[in-house]
Amino acid sequence: MTARAQWIFALLLLVILAASGPYAQTPDQPPAAPPVGSQPQGRPAAPGQAPVPGQAIAADEYRIGPEDVLDISVWKNAELTRTVAVRPDGRISVPLLNDIQAANMTPMQLRDVLAKGYSKYVSDAEVSVIVREIHSFKVSVVGLVKNPGRYELRSQATVLEALALAGGLTEFAKKDRIVVFRNDGRRWLRIAFDYNQAIYDNAEQNFQLRPGDIVIVP
């Protein structure tokens, strides 16, 4: 082998070693897919689907309830702008319109009702409704828990979270016979909850509570 051939052979060998060594480049890997069933944080759940715990709730999903405190503003009209509390009967008292039903409405729905009512007295009335304080989201946890009672929540909560607020289950609690009583406006519903299944087998058992729910631990 001539010196020129040896030089070419050595050059090719260096090229091969460089390509297969630790500095060789590899194609960029695509980002890992999100877990099945996960949703981007801050995006509302699909219709009919319970929001994921810890997920932001869209503003138009909140329903006003008794004891909530509302800021009602009418642009360029200080006399109609005020802070009001929702009465136990679900109504609020405002100037000119007197008593208005507010409970079970979203802030946007109440805004539209007020704007329509004020349009008789104020031209092009621009109304805004802001929920200043939430006091209507209350659930009760009774039975064999360490701290039974009625709890006022500031955001969505699941059954397990409510049980945690109540200090957890006592030693003799029947974990597979927990029930949630819920009033749908017409009657009381009885919803079974299995503590062990929610923790070990089926996380979907840990459903979201609604205002007025009663969790009973036998």
H/E stretch holding 140 reads strand 138-143
Q: What is the pLDDT along the chain (218 residues), one digit of tens a residue?
A: 555 555 555 545 444 444 444 333 333 333 333 332 323 333 333 333 333 333 334 444 788 999 999 999 999 899 999 999 999 999 999 999 999 999 999 999 999 999 999 999 988 889 999 999 999 999 999 999 999 999 999 888 999 999 999 999 999 999 999 999 999 878 999 999 999 999 998 888 899 999 999 999 99
Which residues have C-beta within 8 Å of that of residue 38, sequence separation ≥ 6? 52
Furthest-apart CA pair in the chain: how many Å?
107
Q: What is the pLDDT of residue 123?
A: 85
What per-residue confidence (pLDDT) applies to 202? Answer: 86
Domains observed in the chain: 60-133 (3.30.1950.10), 138-217 (3.10.560.10)
**Confidence at residue 32, expressed as pLDDT on a 0 to 100 scale:** 36
> Do residues 99 and 121 make contact, with C-beta atoms less than 8 angstroms apart?
no
pLDDT value of residue 61: 73
Q: CA torsion sign, 207 to 208 to 214 to 215?
A: positive
For 171-187, letters b (16+ CB in 10 Å) and e give eebebeebbbebeeeee
182 vs 194: CA distance, rounded Å:
17
Q: What is the pLDDT of residue 48?
A: 34
**How far does Cα 64 stand from its chain's mean position?**
15
